[in-house]
Structure 1
C-alpha cells in the first residue's frame, strides 16, 4: 500500500519538480546558444531528432516486455496530430519570444493551468461541481496559482536580500529583440500556451488507448522533427544557405545535446507518464511553479537579489499548488472508496484520471 502511494502520489510530484528545474537550465543554455547565432528551427529539428534516436530501441523493448494493444492507424493518426500540435507550439513560442521577450513568455505561460482546466472540463476529463469540496479546491487552487505567478512576474517590490548581480528579469530584458512588438508577440505566445494544454489532452487520450510512453514519445519526436524541417525548408530555404544546418563543437551543439536528452527525451517521457496516471490538470499545475523555481535557482546559484514580489508570489503559488493537490488527493480517496463499493460505476476504474464516483444515494 505504501509503495503504491509513493508511486502514484510522491514520485510524479518529485519527477515533475525535477524536470521544471532542468527546464530552467535548458532555457538558459538555449538563450546563450541563440545569442551565438543558432537558428531555433535548426535547434528544434536536431533536438527532437536526437530524442527520437535515443528512444528508438524502446519500440522493440516495449512490445516484448508487456502486452500492448496493436498500434492501429487511429492511434498513429493521433500521434501525427500530437506532432503537429508540438511543432506549431514550438514555432509559435519562439516566434513570440523573438517579437517580445522571455519575460513576457513567462507571464503568459501562467495561463496554462486555466486553459488546461477549461479543456479538461470540456472533454469531460475533469468534473466540476460546486457541491464537492474537491472540485472547489481544484478551481480555487488553479486561480490562486495563476495569481501568484503573475505577482512574481509583474510585481517587483522592495529588496528582501540584496546581492550585487542584476536580477533574472533584468537579464532577460536584455534578450529582447530590437524590433520588439509586444502585442504581436503576446498573440503568438497566447496561441502557444493554448496549444500546450491541447497537447496534454491529446496525449492523455493516446495513453488511454496505447499506454507505452517511450514508444509514443519516440514517434512524436520524429513527427515534430520532420514537420519542423519541412516548415524550415519552405520558409527559410531560399534565404539561408545550407551552412545553417552545419554544427560545430560549441555551445549550440551542447544546447542541442542537452535539450535532446533531458528535454525532448526525458522531459516529454516523464510528462507523458504523469499524464497517464494523474491527468492533464495535475501536470499543468507545475507551470506556475516553474517561475518560483527559476527565482529560487537565481538566488541560490546566480546570486540574484530576492525581491518582496518574488517571495509573496512564490508563497501564493505554493498555497494554490497544495490546494489543487489536496483536491486531487480527495478525489483519489473517493475513487478508491468507490472501487471497494459494488454500487460504483466500473468506468471510473478504466479512466486513468482521478474521478469521483457517484454516491449510493444517487443510484436510488
Structure 2
C-alpha cells in the first residue's frame, strides 16, 4: 500500500503538469488568433463548472460532511487566489512566452518552502546539512528566476522566425520582464494555494466538491473582472475557430482534470510533494511551444531554468533526508533490548 500511495500521486502530478504545460501553449494560440485573455478565462471556467456539476452533487453524496457557511467561505477564498493567479498567468504569457511562464512555475517549490516555514509546517536546523541544502536551494531557485526574467540572451535554437505576439506596446525587453514578473506572482499565489489547500481539505475532505465550488467562484469573480475590463461586446462573441477548441481544452483538461488531480494529490501527499513536479513542466512546454508555436528558446531561459531546477532538487534532497532521519528515529530497535534481557 505504501508503494501504491506514492505511485498514484506521482502519476497524478505528472498528468497535471502535462495538462498545465499544454494549457500555456493553447492560451498563446488563442490570444495570437485575437481572443481576449479575460474572456477566455470566463468561458473556460463556466464550461468547467457545468461539466463538474453532476459529479459534485452525485458522487459519494451520503459520505460527505455537511456543507457549512465556513466551508463556503474557504472555497471562496481559495477561488480568489486562483482568480488572481489566472489573470497573472494569462497576462504573463501574452507579454512573454509559454516557456518563460513554465520556467517561473519552478519557483513554486521555493515559495512553498518559505511559506511552510512561516506557518511552521517545516523546520530548519542550521547545523544540519539537510536544512542548509533546503535554504541554499531556495535561494538558488529565486536567483535562477531573476536570471530568466532579466537576462534573455540569444536564442539557442529557432524552428522558424517567430514574430512577437505581444499586444501591449512596450519594448520587447520590457514585455519580457513584465511577463516574467507576472508569472512569478502567479507562482507565489500558487504556493499560497497549495498551503491553504491543506487546511481546506482537512476541514472538508470531499475533493470533487472543493474543486466544483472553487471553479464556480472563479467563474463569478473572473466574470465580474472581465465585465469591467472588456468593454467591447464583440470580444465576447464565440466563433467556430481555434478559440472554441481552446475553451474546451481549458475547461476539461487544464481546469477540470488538473484541479481535481492537484487537490487530490495535495490531500494525499502534501504541498511540497506536489510542488516538486513543477520543473518537469518546462520540458513539456519547451517541446510543445517549439512544435506548435515555433517559439525560440533563449540562453537566459536555459541558464535560469538549470539554476532553478538545481536549487529545487537541493530542497527536495534536504526534505527527503529529513524524512528518512525521522523514520529512522521512529523505527524501534528490537534486537538490542532482547540481547540485554537475555544477559
TM-score, with length taken from structure 2:
0.79
Determine the structure 2 residue equivalent to 1:254.
Answer: 245
Count the aligned residue pairs: 326
Distance 1:97 1:310, change over 3 A: closer
Q: Report deviation, 1:176.
A: 2.5
CA–CA separation in structure 1 for the residues paired with 2:79 and 2:292 = 35
Alignment of 1:1-364 (within 5 A): 3-8=1-6, 10-64=7-61, 67-98=63-94, 100-102=95-97, 105-106=101-102, 108-146=104-142, 154=151, 165-166=159-160, 171=162, 174-180=164-170, 181-182=174-175, 185=179, 188-236=182-230, 239-241=231-233, 243-297=234-288, 319-336=310-327
Distance 1:144 1:250, change over 3 A: same
Q: Report deviation, 1:321.
A: 4.3
Q: Report deviation, 1:44.
A: 0.9
5+ unaligned residues in a row in structure 1: which ranges? 342-364
Determine the structure 2 residue equivalent to 1:361.
Answer: none
CA–CA separation in structure 1 for the residues paired with 2:309 and 2:271 = 19
Q: CA deviation digits over 1:44-68, x for unaligned, max 9?
A: 1121122222222332344447x44
CA–CA separation in structure 2 for the residues paired with 1:216 and 1:144 = 34
Answer with 259-268 or 107-116: which moved more: 107-116
SS in 1 for 2:107: helix
Answer with 199-208 or 278-287: which moved more: 278-287
Answer with 182-191 or 115-124: which moved more: 182-191
CA–CA separation in structure 2 for the residues paired with 1:293 and 1:335 = 35
Q: Report deviation, 1:276.
A: 1.7
Distance 1:95 1:178, change over 3 A: closer
CA–CA separation in structure 1 for the residues paired with 2:216 and 2:20 = 21
CA root-mean-square deviation: 3.4
Task: Tell me if the contact between 2:24 and 2:93 (Cα under 8 Å) persists in the aligned partners.
Answer: no
TM-score, with length taken from structure 1:
0.75
Q: Report deviation, 1:280.
A: 2.4
Task: Tell me if the contact between 1:112 and 1:193 (Cα under 8 Å) persists in the aligned partners.
Answer: yes
SS in 2 for 1:327: helix
Q: Which gives a bigger RCO, structure 1 or 2 (Cα 8 Å, sep 6+)?
A: 2
Distance 1:40 1:269, change over 3 A: same
SS in 1 for 2:126: coil
SS in 2 for 1:7: helix
Q: Report deviation, 1:252.
A: 0.7
Q: CA deviation digits over 1:51-95, x for unaligned, max 9?
A: 222222332344447x44322222211110111111122223333
Distance 1:96 1:313, change over 3 A: closer
SS in 1 for 2:124: coil
